[in-house]
Structure 1
Amino acid sequence: MLKDSAIMAVLPAKDINRAKDFYRDKLGLEPSETIEESLLYRCGKGTSFLIYQTDNAGTAKNTQMGWETDNLERDMEELRGRGVVFEDYDFPGLKTENGVSTDSFGKGAWFLDSEGNILNIAQRA
């Protein structure tokens, strides 16, 4: 049943207006809909994500959403130009150099949004 259904990521925001500014100014995204106090964003291939206001934002310690790209370095350069700061990690199973991790899957990079959510861009090998 669910394998054929569309999915939508859901992200928390302590300040929905600050989040809206971040996603517009840093990521170049505009909400396609406003649903009460939530923002719906549409991305490629029919995917989407929702941002809603809650005091629980920024408490997750894991990647909450990611985008797949065909050119990680190009996208990182553009995002850095918009002020996005990529995280560096060094722990078992994940080590980054200049913000990039490389493994058998491919390459990945992580950054925080304005609400402390951990986001990712990745390029498959």
Structure 2
Amino acid sequence: MALTDARTETRLPARDLDRARQWYAEKLGLEPAEERPGGLRYCCGPNVFCLFTSQGASDGAFTQLAFQVSDIEAEVAELRSRGVEFEEYDYPGFRTVNGIVDIDNNYPSKGVGERGAFFRDSEGNMISLGQSVPAPMPKRSR
């Protein structure tokens, strides 16, 4: 068994699949690539996530789906223009400014940090945007 070579797919619960489908289309501009009774499958580049009808619901207390983006400020502005409401936090070491938090030393293999923004979908699932902060280029000596 080689799970290290397996693809992963995220699953998000939806109490109202029609409402969720409309929210993902209107707010995120995403349409399902495939659907079945009780489920919608979305493809974003090589990645996949699915919404499924569930009587259970997430409490939205943690990130369930994350999108890595190259320009978080532009993405936040675009999503806000579509009516997405971003979470604001003010905790020691974790404070958002205009919906965006700067996190130092987050997954060092990705750079020196990450910028993040968080919002909930129509079903209460927590979704985040992340942008890696690359390490500065070393200065060349002359």
Q: Do the two structures share a fold, i.e. TM-score over 0.5?
A: yes
Q: Describe the SS at the equivalent of 2:129.
A: strand
Structure 1 residues 1-125: aligned runs within 5 Å = 1-44=2-45, 46-104=46-104, 105-125=113-133
Structure 2 letter corresponding to 1:111: F
Alignment check: 8 A CA contact 2:60 2:120 kept: no
Q: Which residue of 1 aligns with 2:110?
A: none
Distance 1:3 1:95, change over 3 A: same
* Structure 2 unpaired stretches of 5+: 105-112, 134-142
CA shift, 1:83, in A, is 0.5
Q: Which amino acid aligns with 1:48?
A: V
Q: 1:81 to 1:124 in 2, by over 3 A?
A: same
Q: How far apart are residue 94 of structure 1 and its match?
A: 2.0
In the alignment, the residues of structure 1 paired with residue 10 and residue 92 of structure 2 have an alpha-carbon distance, to the nearest angstrom, of 27
> How much has 1:108 moved relative to structure 2?
0.3
Q: In structure 2, the residue corresponding to 1:30 is in which secondary structure?
A: coil
Higher RCO, Cα 8 Å, sep 6+: 1
Question: Once the two structures are superposed, what CA deviation does each residue of 1:3-38 show, in whole Å capped at 9, x if it has no partner?
Answer: 211110100011000000000000000001112210
Question: Hey, what does 2:109 align to over in structure 1?
Answer: none
Alignment length (residue pairs): 124
Unaligned runs of 5+ in 1: none
Task: Provide runs of 4+ in structure 1 moved above 4 Å.
Answer: none
TM normalised by structure 2 equals: 0.83
CA-atom RMSD, angstroms? 1.1
**Stretch deviating more after TM superposition (53-62 or 111-120):** 53-62
